[in-house]
């Protein structure tokens, strides 16, 4: 939800990044390979403008395939979510301060992205606003691969793109506990292993992953006919093919 894709530019032998979702952000750096890491500070600084101007902070758009994405610190993400929850509730920081019985200074720090706030105070603020921090910081589009290696995962839109490319509305799950050379090349398991997993010889289309796909509301399970064996197999079906 708040993992922002960036665009890397090169001028006079130097690199800088822009963020389409947060156009006020800009970062300069020397190494293109460090673009995502180097862009954190520029985005964090730009977020303060939204608070100063009492504007809602935009959610991140879905990145293009291979586009660098900035992973903000978890407390910054929590504060973005808190600020947007304050906006949605129609109150101001002063009102939140009264509700939490905090000074205006302390309450203001809860939406100061460069201040290290106590997690208990952030949790209390979310509770006061009757908001679940986990629900509003998690992107339904991002599917985690629990067995794919550190930070392995993919955006569900990439799977939809793959189905469109194949001109079909479903994909055989085909999950097996074997090396990748034993996996059906047209299966979801193979697609995940070959495209997004850092551990391609480990099964990826697990129940944890298919349940995440189901939770997006875009996919459902179905019985399909295996295109090679002709046997009935389990597949994931795109419920809204026009998405």
Confidence of residue 118 (pLDDT cuts 50, 70, 90): confident
The residue among 65 and 135 whose pLDDT is bigger is 65
CA distances from 47 to 41, 105, 120, 194 (A): 10, 18, 22, 36
Contact 238, 160 (CB under 8 A): yes
Contact 210, 223 (CB under 8 A): no
Taking only the tens place, the pLDDT of each residue in 169-205 is 999 999 999 999 999 999 999 999 999 999 999 999 9
CB neighbourhood size of 72 (10 A): 20
The residue among 10 and 119 whose pLDDT is bigger is 10
Q: What is the pLDDT of residue 57?
A: 96
Q: What is the pLDDT of residue 152?
A: 86
Q: What is the pLDDT of residue 5?
A: 95
Q: What is the pLDDT of residue 136?
A: 62
Contact 16, 48 (CB under 8 A): no
Tokens 């006079």 appear where? 12
Is pLDDT of 18 > 70?
yes
Taking only the tens place, the pLDDT of each residue in 56-114 is 999 999 888 889 999 888 889 999 999 999 999 988 999 999 999 999 999 999 999 99
Q: What is the pLDDT of residue 139?
A: 64
Confidence of residue 19 (pLDDT cuts 50, 70, 90): very high
Is pLDDT of 218 > 80?
yes
Tokens 């509700």 appear where? 99
CB neighbourhood size of 107 (10 A): 22
Confidence of residue 138 (pLDDT cuts 50, 70, 90): low
Averaged over 18-31, what is the pLDDT? Answer: 95
- Give the mean pLDDT of the chain: 91
Residues, the chain, total?
A: 243
Q: What is the pLDDT of residue 162?
A: 94
Closest by Cα among 179, 174, 143 to 159: 143
Q: What is the pLDDT of residue 242?
A: 52
Residue 115, classed as helix, strand or coil, is coil
Is pLDDT of 243 > 70?
no
């Amino acid at each position: 939800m708040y993992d922002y894709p960036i665009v890397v530019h090169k001028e006079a032998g130097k690199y800088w990044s822009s963020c389409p979702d947060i156009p006020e952000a800009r970062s300069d750096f020397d190494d293109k390979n460090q673009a995502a890491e180097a862009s954190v500070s520029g985005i964090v600084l730009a977020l303060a403008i939204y608070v100063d101007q009492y504007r809602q902070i935009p959610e991140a758009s879905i990145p293009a395939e291979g586009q660098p994405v900035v992973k903000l610190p978890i407390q910054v993400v929590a504060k973005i979510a808190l600020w947007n929850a304050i906006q949605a509730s129609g109150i101001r920081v002063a009102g939140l301060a009264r509700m939490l019985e905090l000074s205006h200074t302390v309450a203001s720090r809860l939406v100061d992205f460069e201040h290290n706030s106590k997690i208990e105070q952030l949790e209390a603020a979310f509770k006061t606003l009757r908001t679940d921090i986990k629900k509003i910081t998690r992107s339904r589009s991002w599917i985690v691969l629990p067995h794919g290696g550190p930070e392995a995962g993919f955006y569900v839109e990439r799977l939809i793109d793959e189905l469109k490319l194949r001109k079909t509305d479903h994909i055989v799950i085909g999950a097996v506990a074997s090396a990748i050379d034993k996996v059906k090349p047209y299966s979801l398991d193979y697609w995940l292993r070959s495209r997004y997993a850092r551990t391609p010889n480990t099964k990826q289309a697990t129940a944890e992953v298919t349940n995440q796909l189901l939770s997006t509301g875009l996919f459902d399970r179905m019985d399909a006919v295996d295109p090679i064996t002709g046997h009935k197999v389990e597949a994931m079906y795109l419920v809204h093919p026009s998405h």
